Chain A
Amino acid sequence: MAHGRSRHDPGPQKRAAPSKAAPAPVRESAPVGPIRRTIRVINPRGLHPRIIDLFTKTAKKYTSAVTLGYGEMRADGKSVWDLIMLVVLPDSEVVLEVDGPDAPIAVEPLTEILASPGGEDYTI
């Protein structure tokens, strides 16, 4: 049984459908090219495996390609092995590149992970 909706209320799906005469909607999520951000890694342990694990798991939630650049090296942001091989030291800069249809929403959580001081147990 439907609650709180009158017979004339078409519901969210029908309300959202554009009329035939309306112009094509602007897709705000469609990037023109890759989104790049330069981020300083302030974690005192650098880009260590726990951060890498979290980063790759987050990156895999999105269809966009994720690449991390460090100096002249570039690594697949969805590969733990690739990211370990970057050896990103504390207080250094990396370039995050996200390329794909969901790049605008992927870039924020990925940036946050790289820029986070951690708040973790640094003794282990």
Chain B
Amino acid sequence: MRLTNFIVRDAIIPALTTTGKDINPLDTSAVAGVKERAIREMVASLGTAGCFRDGDLEDICRAVLRREQLGTTGIGKTIAIPHSRHPSVERLVGTLALSREGLPFESLDGEPVFVFILLVSPQDRPGDHLRALEAVVRTMRNEDYVRQLRACTTRDEIWNLLENAPGW
């Protein structure tokens, strides 16, 4: 599976408006607030791109946040993969968002996150969900590629880089 198989071009966010400035990474309440704002921004972007009905937005946000409460999806090396399953989507959809300053996300390595890939999967396709996660990890383990990605400033630049991701 390739990232362009599930990342929705129109939902890509070149620069999240959510900020983590002046947040103490050890302040769990403040960090939870940052996480929620970032996740809501990404889910809203998928909604605007037509991936699900407006009426499902809040429920999807809550599902992703609930999943995040069970354990961080900040897997380290500046990457996080917030995700959830939800009956409102018929196929796996996702978005990619960049944070210019990096956000505290309770990552496994304790470092801020600059690249987010948010996934929403149907309830009954565990294989697709796992293959999408694998595609993210396989791509993002290339540090040079992540550096190029973080340097992108427009949706088109990001999409072009995703289409030419290494490893295929």
B-binding residues in A (CB < 8 A): 44-50, 53, 80-81, 84-90, 121, 123-124
B162 interface residue (CB < 8 Å to A): no
Cα-based distance from A85 to B167 in the complex (angstroms): 13
Question: Is the C-beta of B40 less than 8 angstroms from some C-beta in chain A?
Answer: no
Residue picked from A48, A50, A84, A121, most chain B C-beta under 10 Å:
A84
* Interface: B63 (CB within 8 A): yes
B138 in the interface (beta carbon within 8 A): yes
User: B66–A124 contact, CB under 8 A?
Assistant: yes
Taking the closest CB of chain A, its distance from the CB of B105, in whole angstroms, is 14
Q: Which of A46, A50, A87 contacts B71 (CB 8 A)?
A: A50
Contact B70–A48 (Cβ < 8 Å):
no
- B49 interfacial contact with A, CB 8 Å: no
**Sample of 19 further A-B pairs with CB below 8 A, known A53-B71, A81-B141:** A48-B126, A48-B130, A49-B71, A49-B133, A50-B71, A80-B75, A80-B76, A81-B76, A81-B137, A84-B75, A84-B137, A85-B134, A86-B134, A87-B131, A87-B133, A89-B126, A123-B63, A124-B66, A124-B85
Q: How far does the alpha carbon of A86 sit from the alpha carbon of B76 in the complex, in Å?
A: 18
| In the complex, chain A residues whose CB is within 8 Å of the CB of B73 | 49
B71 and A88 form a contact (CB under 8 A)? no
Q: Across the interface, do A85 and B137 meet the contact criterion of CB distance under 8 Å?
A: yes
Nearest A residue to B72, CB-CB: A53
Contact at B85–A87, with CB atoms within 8 Å? no
CB pair B137–A44 under 8 Å, yes or no, is no
Within 8 A of A (CB), among B70-89: 70-71, 73, 75-77, 81, 83-85
| Most chain B beta carbons < 10 A, residue from A85, A88, A89 | A85
Q: Which of A44, A81, A89, A124 contacts B130 (CB 8 A)?
A: A89
Q: Which residue of A lies closest to B63 (CB)?
A: A124
A44/B134 contact (C-beta < 8 A), A80-B108, A81-B75, A81-B141 known: no
Set of chain A residues within 8 Å of B83, measured between Cβ atoms:
49
Known: A124-B67, A124-B85. Contact between A88 and B126, CB under 8 A?
no
Residues of B with C-beta under 8 A to A81? 75-77, 137, 141
Within the complex, what minimum Cβ distance (angstroms) separates B109 from chain A?
10
In the bound complex, residues from chain B placing their C-beta under 8 Å from that of A50 are: 70-71
Give 1 or 0 for each of B141-152: 1 = CB within 8 Å of chain A CB: 100000000000
